[in-house]
Amino acid sequence: MSDISRVIQALRRLPQFESLAEYIQRTIAEAAFHRHFESGQVIYVEGEPAQWIYILETGWIKATRMTRQGREQAMMFLRPTEVFGDIAILAGVPYPGTVVALESVDVWVIPGQVILDLIQRQPTVATAVIHHLARRVLHYISLVEDLSLRSVEARLAHTLLLHAEIQDGRLIVPRRDWTTFDEMAIRLGTVRDVLSRSLKMLEAENLLKVEKQHIVLLDPDGLAERANY
């Protein structure tokens, strides 16, 4: 499969861009180029001038901000297929956070000006971008709600339920290579010790069981109650 075909395929996996006319998708695809990042590599740094919009094709990434005390606050953890880097381009500001590959990652890099030009000429592109930004606003509203109104135990229960899947008749959350306690703590806006205590508390209540490769959700209804649904 050619690079252009791969980009078009990725665009069609994005709800906001799948309905764009084929010639618009091709215009975007022809301007894109491929980049590969290994686990731990930085894709861009907070404060760096924004030039590019990225489509995540494979792998997981995280976007974080760093406090003056050196503590990371997670903004997003993304898996395929997703767009990132676009908010800075649309706002005309530097990248607001640092994005790092959590594992082997493939992305398509699109010059930001290409999308800005299409927005000016194509109302369907402008509509697609508005829909995408609206979804991001809802994400950040949810993040603020989590950090300000939910306890760590509630945030943990909510996140586990959000990413649970059924395997061999069990409801589990797979633990990827990068899913360390430190990374989980960053994602939940806490620290490792507090996360560890929260897991032990939920485990003692028979709501979940922590295994080497999985976290098994023993009582989804009980976890939903703890998540303040």
- 180 confidence band (pLDDT: 50, 70, 90): confident
pLDDT value of position 119: 97
For domain 151-226, give the CATH number: 1.10.10.10
pLDDT greater than 70 at residue 229 = no
C-alpha distances in Å from residue 83, one per residue of 26, 76, 92, 110, 130: 17, 12, 17, 10, 13
pLDDT value of position 194: 93
pLDDT value of position 1: 77
Burial (0-12, 13-18, 19+ Cβ within 10 Å), 56: buried
Amino acid type, 94: P
Share of the chain above pLDDT 90, in %: 74
pTM assigned to the model? 0.85
pLDDT digits (tens, 9 = 90+) for 24-83: 999 999 999 999 999 999 999 999 999 999 999 999 999 999 877 777 888 999 999 999
The residue-averaged pLDDT of 7-15 equals 94
CATH topology of domain 3-148: Jelly Rolls (2.60.120)
* Spatial contact of 172 and 212, defined as CB atoms under 8 Å apart: no
Nearest to 156 by CA among 111, 201, 116: 201
**Structural Rg of the chain based on CA atoms:** 19
The residue-averaged pLDDT of 91-107 equals 97
Residues 19 and 12: their CA atoms lie apart, in Å, by 7
Residues 201 and 77: their CA atoms lie apart, in Å, by 25
151-226 shares the fold of 3-148: no
β-bridge pairing 105-111 and 72-78: unpaired
Q: Quote the Cα angle for 117-36-71, to 5°.
A: 90
Residues 22 and 15: their CA atoms lie apart, in Å, by 15
- 117 confidence band (pLDDT: 50, 70, 90): very high
pLDDT value of position 100: 97
- 86 confidence band (pLDDT: 50, 70, 90): very high
pLDDT digits (tens, 9 = 90+) for 182-213: 898 888 888 899 999 999 999 999 999 999 88
Nearest to 175 by CA among 204, 201, 212, 143: 212
Helix-helix angle 112-121:22-31, to 10 degrees = 160
For residues 147 and 91, which has the higher predicted lDDT (pLDDT)? 91
β-bridge pairing 170-174 and 105-111: unpaired
pLDDT digits (tens, 9 = 90+) for 118-139: 999 999 999 999 999 999 999 8
Average pLDDT of the chain, as a whole number: 93
- In the chain, where the domains are located: 3-148, 151-226
pLDDT greater than 90 at residue 147 = no
For residues 6 and 16, which has the higher predicted lDDT (pLDDT)? 6
Q: Quote the Cα angle for 156-158-161, to 5°.
A: 105
